[in-house]
Chains A and B, each alone.
Chain A
Amino acid sequence: MSLVQGAHQTSQPRESRATLLAWPEFNQPAVWLVAAILLIMPFIASGFFLIEIFATTLILGTIALSLMFLAGYGGMVSLMQLTVAGFAAYMVAVFGMSANTNISLGWPWWLATPMALVLATIFGTLGGTLAVRTEGIYTIMITLAIGAAFYYFTNQNWPIFGGHTGINTIATPKFWGVDWRSDIPFYYVTLGVAAFCYFAVQYVSRAPFGLALQGVRDNPRRMAALGFNVNAHRVAAYAFASFIAALGGVLQVWNYRQISPGSVSVGACIDILIIAVVGGIARPVGPFIGAFIFVILRTFALDLLVKFGLDGNRFRLLIGLGFLAIVFWSSDGVIGLWERWRRRAVTPEKRGGYGHG
């Protein structure tokens, strides 16, 4: 791939330079290495690691990416991104096929999935419209209230959401002779969706809309004076983020094949915030790093704690303390720590050579 890129550069230097300016990460060998490893992952990792670690990381990372987009570029910390994802998951279960035949409508997946995506995007946009009625720190309160209300609602409501037992054995897509929920195809599906969302966020952040959104984040009054509709930009950001979160939610319901109020609990909503903050909300890659750390901790904390002679059930304590440590010492998460460490390692002259792209 990098060879092709090199040839491209010699034949059409001007255009390639523009591409490189727009996508600076293509210029770094580490990025290509990570991409290659992710692509050949099924040949390295076994089924357990592939799904439980990597696919789960990509799904949680996608949902956290939607929060990163809102918080990093829009300055709006929304705690309802998991609720939007959960709503999409519920809609897949309600419109598609599942064991709860009295609830599910039994539509084929290619009809149920777009329906779920559209409805979840509308749901998230409406929530966003509410949240932008007030500003700053209030956003957290309102979105948390929306998330918690949705959780209690799914618990109470039996006709549509199946009460606290939820909806089980949800059908996953099978077509072209492939069962898309079997390990390797499902991994590639999640990888494809995560990559799509990652590049979509990267693209939007550099498009005029994304730049205006960052302007709104930094100085809403000035942007309003310049003739931008501040609230419309914010609501549009919610719509975009909701779509990404909905994609993550659809993948999640295909992964677990069931959905219940536990999946949309307040704790789970806060986990998404933790993932985004621990990874770093300044850049789109942060949520994926945060998700990886979170999933690794969640999977292995029990064994690790028992090995040290502690109670294995204290996983959440570990997560909470780790989160507190990150919030205390690094405002932009693990990426921030990494960059600070690199800045200390790299001398100023060498650093000057980078920015050109």
Chain B
Amino acid sequence: MTRFIERHPAWALILLIAIAVMLWLILAVWPPGLEEAIGRKRVFLNAVFNGITLGSLYFLVASGFTLIFGLMRNVNLAHGSLYLFGGYVGYAISTWTGSWVLGFIIAFLGVALVGIVLQIAVFRRMEGEDLRQTMVTIGLSIVFADLMLWVFGGDFYQIQTPNWLVGPVELPLVTAVKSSGEAVYLRYPMVRLVIFVAAVVIGIVMWLALNRTRVGMMVRAGVDDRDMLAATGVPIQLVFVVVFALGAGLAGIAGVVGGTFQSLSPGEDTRFLLASLVVVIVGGMGSIPGAALGAVIIGLAEQLGSVYIPTYAIVVTFLIMVLVLALRPQGLLARR
């Protein structure tokens, strides 16, 4: 942090001001002039919270994508299909057994299994051939999409939210002050807050696993120099399989989460593939903190954009990507 401030004082200042403005917008009671200019504070706060929860969903999808890419140089364009597959599995299990948690666990295991099979049966055969691997993932995404359309049809599905997560919760954030002087607090769906907390927990666990365990050490070494790691006698194929399974499993549980607070339908696979592409391009390819930062930025941009400039919302997301590519082509938090 201090090194960043020393090296880029101007950027650090701009960032600091932006964060301060954001905090003020969230915490302070808006003066009437501001409310007239950009609308009610409740709308703004809702957009910010939706953006952050959407960002945490994007983080779940994109962290698997970036992990697989970072270690194996495999641009897995079937990642969106894994997301959708996880969602469908979660839906099927949770409607069958009535247990959301069981659906969540089985979606993780099932999609991780698909990932293991893919890595062993397909990608191991073409190691080091980036382009061919990517082409294969494109072919797989087409096949998966059609198979899922075959089984589940074109309908919308929504996974039943577990009872203990239903309903809004009052947050200690003032949205407005009534004329009587009574403060109105923000009410926000419980399930979205839980998703946010869960994403943070998963992110921290992943960070700990990568930075504090032996396997994590191997993975980090592999991201830096795969050949050298193999030369030191590490069973690199096993590491690959574990990472692919983990990345795919993360996409699977993201599917369950996405199916709970949004919906599942054909086409969602493309949407989340695009989201993870943009997130890792913005955040830096192969970097977990980068995925987290990129996911929050993209989630916020998407939600704030769709509230304030509805017909051009996607352009905002896209402009962020362009800006990052122009200023820092390797991504915001990439090391190279």
Interfacial residues, chain A to chain B (CB-CB below 8 A): 77, 130, 133-134, 136-138, 140-142, 144-146, 148-149, 152-153, 156-159, 265-267, 270, 273-274, 277, 311, 313-314, 316-317, 319-321, 323-324, 327-328, 331
Tell which of A133, A141, A317, A324 touches B326, judged by Cβ atoms closer than 8 Å: A133
Q: What are 6 contact pairs spanning A and B, CB under 8 A?
A: A134-B330, A136-B130, A142-B325, A277-B135, A317-B147, A327-B135
Total residues of chain B contacting the partner, CB 8 A: 40
What residues of A have a CB within 8 angstroms of the CB of B75 in the complex?
137, 140-141
Interface pair B146/A316, CB less than 8 Å apart: yes
Interface pair B143/A314, CB less than 8 Å apart: no
B80 to chain A: closest residue by CB: A266
B311 within 8 A of A: yes
State the Cβ distance, B122 to closest chain A Cβ, in Å.
9
Extra 20 A-B pairs, beta carbons < 8 Å, given A317-B146, A323-B138, A327-B132: A134-B325, A134-B330, A136-B130, A137-B134, A138-B285, A140-B134, A141-B281, A145-B274, A145-B281, A146-B318, A148-B273, A149-B278, A149-B317, A153-B314, A266-B270, A267-B270, A314-B146, A317-B147, A324-B136, A327-B135
Interface pair B145/A316, CB less than 8 Å apart: yes
State the Cβ distance, B182 to closest chain A Cβ, in Å.
39
Interfacial residues, chain B to chain A (CB-CB below 8 A): 73, 75, 77, 130-132, 134-136, 138-140, 142-143, 145-147, 150, 270, 273-274, 277-278, 280-281, 285, 310-315, 317-318, 321-322, 325-326, 329-330
Interface pair B277/A141, CB less than 8 Å apart: yes
What residues of B have a CB within 8 angstroms of the CB of A158 in the complex?
311
State the Cβ distance, B160 to closest chain A Cβ, in Å.
29
A148 to chain B: closest residue by CB: B274
State the Cβ distance, A60 to closest chain B Cβ, in Å.
17
State the Cβ distance, A301 to closest chain B Cβ, in Å.
12
- Bound CA span A314–B311, Å: 35
What residues of A have a CB within 8 angstroms of the CB of B310 in the complex?
156
State the Cβ distance, B66 to closest chain A Cβ, in Å.
11
- Bound CA span A225–B329, Å: 22
State the Cβ distance, B178 to closest chain A Cβ, in Å.
36
Given the known inter-chain contacts A149-B317, A156-B314, A311-B150, please indicate yes or no for A319 contacting B131, CB distance below 8 A.
no
Interface pair B277/A144, CB less than 8 Å apart: yes
- Bound CA span A317–B139, Å: 9
Interface pair A149/B139, CB less than 8 Å apart: no
What residues of B have a CB within 8 angstroms of the CB of A148 in the complex?
270, 273-274, 277
Interface pair A331/B314, CB less than 8 Å apart: no
